[in-house]
Amino acid sequence: MEKIIQIIPNILSSFRLLLALLFPLVPESAWVWLIIGGGGSDALDGWIARRWHAQSKVGAILDAVADKLFVLFALLTIAAHGKFSLFLIPLLLARDLLVAGTAMYAASIKEWSAFHRMDVRWSGKLATTAQFFLLLTAVLWSDKIHWVLWPAILFSVVAAADYGWLFILELHQRARRSSS
């Protein structure tokens, strides 16, 4: 039973990847269920992983990739249907783009551990929550989207600055340790 519990978070993350791929293919009437499934699987896989100590490096990467792809595919699909401008997507994904960029940079300079040690931040959780709330608002109350769009952009940009600052501090600490 314990081995099954260990793989459940990865199964839930894989399910979110499947939902991401399905998003552009399903009718608009099904979007709300995909968003609920994506958000629910995100919350549940994290809770199970922490509760039963089923965390792993592979699972953390799979979870992060599933989160980013789900939000990306959902935002692109919803924007393509005219709910908001496609030009706002980079701002809505500012945190995600910065994190992806720092991961590539850390890997390119062989400092992957500097990136990997960056903990989840409150600003990131807030940005993720705002993204899912934006998705739900766009689908259920599209006439009210402007009330959610700009705060979601703000939270994403603040989270990008927070994660960027954390990564810079980590690189400086590593440089000081290696020069001593």
Structural domain boundaries of the chain? Answer: 1-81, 84-180
Whole-model pTM over 0.85:
no
Q: CA–CA separation, 121 vs 111, rounded Å?
A: 20
Give, as one character, the DSSP assignment of residue 56.
-
Task: Name the nearest CA neighbour of 116 among 70, 55, 48, 41.
Answer: 55
Q: Which of 118-132, 137-151, 156-170 has the lowest mean pLDDT?
A: 118-132
At 45-89, the pLDDT tens digits run 888 888 877 777 777 778 888 888 999 999 999 999 988 888 999
